[in-house]
Amino acid sequence: MVDQSAEPPASDSDGSSAPPPPVEPLKLPTFEEMKAQDVFNNCAVKSIVSCVMGGGMGIFMGLLFGALDNPLNPDQMTVRQHFTHAAKQMGSKSLHMAKAFAVMGAIYSGTECIIEKARARHDMTNTMVAGCVTGGSLSAKAGPKAACVGCAGFAAFSVVVEKLFDRAA
């Protein structure tokens, strides 16, 4: 309904410069495009994607930490035995870390999505509350004091990461 075609402006009085390039008509997104963009707007989809990404990152970090945790000790075992033992330890550790990171990513992204949809604003308080909920839920088993500390720590960490992403984006 808005005037969708803009004609090129009339040629200016100065004949020295070339006429300005014609303005392209405004292209509103079609219904299919909006639906396709809306897939990522869903909270469940976003939290599942974040869960998978957290799992991947956890696998990498587990491999890294597992490799770091194995000092080379040629006296007790042969090289091949040491290698298989180190590989198994790296595998188990990476699986453990992958699970932890996946859960953390899913909880954080899910709560942030829900809070932002409810508030209908894009603020820093969304990330703070979501970080607090995530940190609190992860360390809830160790008692209420540990939950508070975890909440504050994870909220601060997520605010820092969000500021990093905001500058970069």
Binding site for another protein (CB under 8 A): 1-2, 41, 113, 116-117, 119-123, 126, 166, 169
Alpha helices in the chain (DSSP H): 31-38, 43-68, 79-119, 125-138, 144-168
In terms of CB distance, is 10 or 118 closer to another protein? Answer: 118
CA 89 to CA 97: how far, in whole Å?
12
Provide the minimum distance between the beta carbon of 3 and another protein in the complex, in angstroms, as a whole number.
9
Provide the minimum distance between the beta carbon of 158 and another protein in the complex, in angstroms, as a whole number.
16
Provide the minimum distance between the beta carbon of 117 and another protein in the complex, in angstroms, as a whole number.
5
Q: Which residue has the tokens 């897939």?
A: 39
Provide the minimum distance between the beta carbon of 120 and another protein in the complex, in angstroms, as a whole number.
4
Cα separation values, 20 from 4, 6, 23, 27, 56, Å: 19, 13, 9, 20, 50
In order, the DSSP letters of 60-98 are HHHHHHHHHT----TTTS-HHHHHHHHHHHHHHHHHHHH
Closest Cα partner for 111 from 99, 129, 89? 129
Provide the minimum distance between the beta carbon of 80 and another protein in the complex, in angstroms, as a whole number.
52
In terms of CB distance, is 14 or 24 closer to another protein? Answer: 24
Q: Which residue has the tokens 């809830």?
A: 140
In terms of CB distance, is 25 or 144 closer to another protein? Answer: 25
In terms of CB distance, is 113 or 132 closer to another protein? Answer: 113
In terms of CB distance, is 122 or 145 closer to another protein? Answer: 122
The neighbour count for residue 12, using CB atoms within 10 Å, is 10
